[in-house]
A = this chain, B = another copy of it.
Amino acid sequence: MQNNEQKYLDPQPTTERIRYIPIGGLGEVGKNMYVVEYGEDIIIVDVGMGFPEDEMLGIDLVLPDISYLEGKQDRIRGICITHGHEDHIGGLPWLLPQINAPIYGTPLTLGLITNKLKERGLLAEADLREVQAGDTVTLGAFKVEFVHVCHSIPDACLLAIHTPIGTIVHTGDFKLDPTPADGYLTDYQTLGRLGQEGVLALFTDCVHVETPGYTPSEQVVAKTLGPIVDNASGRVIIATFASLISRVQQIFDIGYKYGRKVALLGRSLENNVQVAVELGYLYIPEGLLVSVADTARLHDNEVLVICTGAQGEPTSALSRIANDDSRYWNAKPGDTYILSATPIPGNETSVGRVINNLFTKGAEVIYPPLAQVHVSGHASQEEHKLLLGLLRPKYVIPIHGERRHLEMYAKIASAPGVGIPRANIFLIDNGYVIELNSDEAYVAGRVPSGNVFVDGLSVGGIGHVVIRDRQLLARDGVLLVVVTIDKQTGHLVAGPDIVTRGFVYAAEAGELLDDTKTRVRDALNHNNSNTPADWNYLNKKIRDTVSQYLYDKTKRRPMVLPVVMEV
């Protein structure tokens, strides 16, 4: 990326520079986890997880590769969490058994982490330390100041990380909402103070930078949802993210205003609401919340349901409803479904399917961009300019974005009037090490980083070999060729038999499979030398013969697995 990436990466701890490394983030730089080093001290920022992309077949979730931290456990002073979203806290259950450092976060963030750790039986060992926005915690040579920012979850913070060399600011996810739903503004005063004191480098969320102007306020959603709920004559079901506590509050408020009881559908949503209520981040008037079962006893126009699944996730509440597969809820004509979310790239097809299926049931469906029933939690172009104006950083490193977002951010930040010199903006990838001293910043090298796949119970046992095999199997299936060979002579004693799955419908492909057997028989009998069987040779011979023949006949390449038995 930058030309100086080959610079020598000094493995020794030193107080001469700060080292900053985005460790993981699927398709994006950073997002899930970061490491910051100074002298002997290391802090980790966020420990999130990602959801697999389409071609990561059979994978349940994706974690950052933490091998860079191996052998450095003693130097880790703490884990600072910016906010309680899955992509920032979801990796903790996998990290803690290996690296058990104190975890710092605001009350709601820790509440959501507590839930997660409890589920996995890891809460007892975890060392959770609550901070309030405005607090500064000392972690070795670092003083980490938590500064409130707006985002689509309450209690989000950016981190001002003070070191003897200078202050770096890591934004986490943010927007500069002028009228946040919870009334809790971004702490502009502290940002201004940090700018005045001097910010050496800004590491900033840039994922929404392709959008001009300002991201609309979260309150806009309530303004759209209110009249829709008011006008609906039947039940209203609003799908959103389980973690959008501010959105959930607004929906409760709307239910109260228009005389509807509110029910929750989806386990993660119920858990999050419970935590938020207990900690005082969500206020539900007495009697407003009912169970989904209770809604059956209400008139349809007294029912408002919040559910998960706005991304069309196949096992979510909304997908189950759309597929007539929910134990709790049947869609019916007269219902109004509102998708209060924009599909994340890659989810458009499954979201579209949910919409189509709900329409087919005679329901009304409302979704963006047809109505503004969702706003982003991330800053648009003008907000980025405002943050740069407040902080006036010397160096800027956009993170939490794809390459296209980093490029757009660099254009915005270096434009006339904004004026960060282009040479002071670094576009990096996961594992790239930014080193900073008071005079300069540079890419110092690269460390191991990447994705660790989780499938079922196991972490990491799934490597690229396994994924690659799944892709091959998925394309044209598998075909076993079973033969029994005389150990002494190498002659065919029994078989070949063929077993195939996912290649052709075997019942209709008798001729093709019979011809394949003949080819194998010919190929093996050709070897008439009466020499003992060479297992490797036979394997390769069978595989090559069958693969070539099937490709000629069908233009497909099933995975051919020879099974050679010797007697």
Contacts and interface: CB of A to CB of B under 8 A. Distances in A.
B559 A501 contact: yes
Interface of A: 1, 27, 53-54, 57-58, 210, 345-346, 348-349, 352-353, 355-357, 359-360, 365, 370, 402-404, 406-408, 455-458, 461-463, 465-467, 469-478, 480, 482, 484, 494, 499, 501-505, 508-509, 553-556, 559, 561, 563, 565, 567
Contacts of A472: 501-502
Contacts of A408: 370
B553 A505 contact: no
A501 B474 CA distance: 12
Given A346-B349, A403-B356, A475-B58, A210 B501 contact: no
Number of this chain's copies in the assembly equals 2
A250 B226 CA distance: 47
B561 A480 contact: yes
A287 to B, nearest CB: 36
Contacts of A355: 402-404
| Most B CB within 10 A of own CB, among A402, A404, A502 | A502
Contacts of A477: 58, 466, 469-470, 473
Contacts of A457: 553-556
A58 B565 contact: no
Given A480-B563, A501-B469, A402 B352 contact: yes
Given A561-B480, A565-B482, A473 B502 contact: yes
25 contacts: A27-B353, A27-B356, A54-B349, A345-B349, A345-B352, A352-B404, A355-B403, A365-B404, A456-B556, A458-B504, A458-B554, A462-B505, A466-B502, A466-B505, A469-B502, A470-B476, A470-B477, A473-B473, A473-B474, A473-B478, A473-B501, A478-B478, A480-B563, A499-B561, A501-B559
Nearest to A551: B456
A345 B345 contact: no
A333 to B, nearest CB: 12
Contacts of A54: 54, 349
A198 B537 CA distance: 76
B349 A53 contact: yes
Nearest to A476: B58
Contact of A463 (B349, B503, B505): B505
A234 to B, nearest CB: 16
Nearest to A345: B348
Contact of A563 (B359, B458, B462, B499): B499
A403 B360 contact: yes
A349 B555 CA distance: 27
Nearest to A469: B502
Contacts of A455: 476, 554, 556
B404 A504 contact: no
Nearest to A494: B565
A214 B134 CA distance: 51
Given A466-B504, A502-B469, A474 B563 contact: no
A31 B556 CA distance: 28
Nearest to A566: B494
Contacts of A484: 565, 567
A54 B461 CA distance: 25
Contacts of A57: 474-475, 502
Q: List 6 tightest A-B contacts by C-beta distance, closest first.
A: A456-B555, A474-B474, A469-B502, A473-B473, A356-B403, A58-B475
